[in-house]
Amino acid sequence: APIESRAMKHADNSLARLPALWLAGGWLSLALLSPLLAADKLEKQEKPAAAATQSVTGKWTYTLEVSFDTSLDFTAELKQDGESVTGSVTVQEVRTAIEKGRFKEGQLTFEIPREYGGTKFMSRYQGRLAGDTLKGKILSGTAPLERSYEWNAKRSKPAAKP
């Protein structure tokens, strides 16, 4: 019986120290992590300012390979107001207004209503802005004939004024 009671007393002492060790460890962890947390918070505060300076407003041109031997030149004219994007896409002299245009955190999304052979469908664009380049995917058509295209648009520079 004396061996059991010594073991129990030792266990009781160890358990009694746990809250103190846990609190000390917690404060130490907090002291070590607080500079990292502050840097993370500062980085998060800087990101919205950088994203706010990005804009998709302008004239964009791109070419899509729509079949083995056919490519089409497109022009998108976009205007951004906050996260909302309006504008149009022109291909083969047919201009179509974009719908559901949105630009948030460097990502552009919009849709264009289309019709082919009496069937109406949407072309859904998504792209990421990097400087004067928009790059992403277009999903167009309806199942089972839905197709995916890669697009890479360049922003046209305004003509220099004489």
pLDDT digits (tens, 9 = 90+) for 15-73: 444 444 444 444 333 344 444 444 444 444 444 444 457 899 999 999 998 888 889 99
Residue 33: its pLDDT value, please? Answer: 40
Q: How far apart are alpha carbons 112 and 95 in whole angstroms? A: 10
Query: pLDDT tens digits for 137-146?
Result: 999 987 777 8
Pairing of strands 58-67, 84-91: unpaired
Both tokens assigned to 31: 């002291």
Q: In the predicted model, is pLDDT for residue 13 greater than 80?
A: no
Whole-model pTM: value is: 0.64
